[in-house]
Amino acid sequence: MAKKRIYTDEELKVINHRIGKIRTELCNEDNKLFAEMLDLTPQATSNICNRMKSVGNKTIERILSAFPQVNKSWLYTGEGDMLVSDTKVEQNSKITSTEKLFLELDAKNDMINKLLNQQEQFLNIINNLSIVNKQN
């Protein structure tokens, strides 16, 4: 089994600039979308892209998993092209507006489900209070 290379803090910090370029090119600079794709908070991705926080190997692996078209060698070293293919990424690699809408819809659906759960909890509380009130 190949041993994973451990990168120094300085090497990881230099990668932040390239991560910002990935966000710009593949997510149309949409930080919220970029964060969702990496399962990180928008604050975390903003800090990474603005070089306020060094990035770890786990985050780099998330990026490579979410964006398989990104050249791993380029991300780590800056050598070669950003994308595995020589062609400029347009429709295939960029998040289309439809995909973006689906991601936003999923986030809103999650919020609605949370609100429905809260509503159910409040109704149960009201029901319990009315039962207690009737008993008194």
Break the chain into its structural domains and give their ranges.
1-86, 96-136
What is the CATH number assigned to the segment(s) 1-86? 1.10.260.40
More confident residue, 94 or 66: 66
pTM for this one? 0.57
Percent of the chain predicted with pLDDT > 90: 38
Q: Mean pLDDT in the chain?
A: 82
Taking the C-alpha atoms of residue 94 and residue 91, their distance in angstroms, rounded to an integer, is: 6
Backbone phi and psi for residue 83, each to the nearest 5 degrees, phi listed first: -105, 150
Q: Give the per-residue pLDDT at 98.
A: 65
Average pLDDT in the 66-88 region? 83
- Summarize the confidence of residues 125-132 as an average pLDDT: 89
